[in-house]
Amino acid sequence: MRKAALSSLGLALLGALAFAFAASGGGNARELDAARTANAASVHYRVTVTLTHANSPVTLRIRGAAAHDEFVAHLAMGSVTAAVMRDPHFVYEGAPGSIVVGGMTWLRLPTDHIPPRAKLFSMLRALTASPFVHVVSEAKLSRVGAHGVFAGPVAYDDPVVRTALYQLTGGFEFRGLHLRVVVGRDGRLRTFFLTGRTADRLTTLALHAQFYGYGSPVRLPLPKPGSFMDPALLQLRA
């Protein structure tokens, strides 16, 4: 009788533990939490944007890292490369292909007096994780399996989606958008894969991103004085 009672108690505890574990998101159950990605202290990422027209693909690759008030991104399209950096007060734009103009390879732009809605900032946000978080937030995603995979459609005419994708897709409008993401146990994005096509079906979109290094430092290799040009300083000297 005592053994049976202990056995019953053990089964009851196991049942209670399984219920609590499932309720807390234990095991392989992973919940999508776009806000945790958006609010991360920092994130590192790799992005590939491929537009294919008449079987001729054009691919933009972005490798970067971003925190709340700084980021660095390296861009490549074919053999053409460039870099962009931002600290709390300046944006640094590297000359494509490291072209040297008068010994200078960077342009420095002060940002303290630029309106938050300026086109410059929208272009900079396109080089961070921000567009992906906005698309995920607007997508109609459902769980696929039990390993943090979610998939579903994205409304191409959603204003938030249009704004988020505008810079990355060169202003083209893609329809039939379908998104597939993988999240970690913390609910943050790990992979993002979006596909679509233009209304005439002649051009397709494949947008892939990987996110990693959450919380890791963002290191800015800021250019040394004399290697950048600052229009504001030139005006003061004039």
Residue 226, burial from CB neighbour count under 10 angstroms (0-12, 13-18, 19+): exposed
Q: Which amino acid makes up residue 71?
A: F
Closest CA to 194 of 131, 147, 146: 131
Pick the CATH number of 34-237 from 3.30.450, 1.10.10, 2.50.20, 3.40.50: 2.50.20
Q: What is the pLDDT of residues 29-83, one digit of tens each?
A: 578 888 899 999 999 999 999 999 988 999 999 999 999 889 999 999 988 888 9
Q: What is the pLDDT of residues 88-147, one digit of tens each?
A: 889 999 876 555 555 567 888 888 888 877 888 888 889 999 999 999 999 999 999 778
Sheet holding 90-94, edge to edge: 142-143, 149-153, 175-183, 189-197, 203-212, 42-53, 56-67, 71-77, 80-86, 90-94, 106-110, 228-229
List the structure tokens of 115. Answer: 């309106």
Residue pair 189/180 in contact (Cβ under 8 Å)? The answer is: no
Can you tell me the distance from the alpha carbon of 109 to that of 84, in angstroms, rounded to the nearest whole number? 11
Q: What is the DSSP letter of 105?
A: -
Can you tell me the distance from the alpha carbon of 202 to that of 209, in angstroms, rounded to the nearest whole number? 23
How does DSSP assign 31-51, residue by residue?
Answer: ---HHHHHT-SEEEEEEEEEE
* C-alpha 210, offset from chain centre: 8
Q: What is the pLDDT of residues 154-212, one digit of tens each?
A: 999 999 999 999 999 988 899 999 999 999 989 999 999 999 999 999 999 999 999 99
Closest CA to 82 of 129, 135, 123, 113: 123
Q: Name the residue ranges covered by the structural domains of the chain.
A: 34-237
- Asked whether residue 15 carries a pLDDT value surpassing 70, the answer given is no
- Asked whether residue 24 carries a pLDDT value surpassing 70, the answer given is no
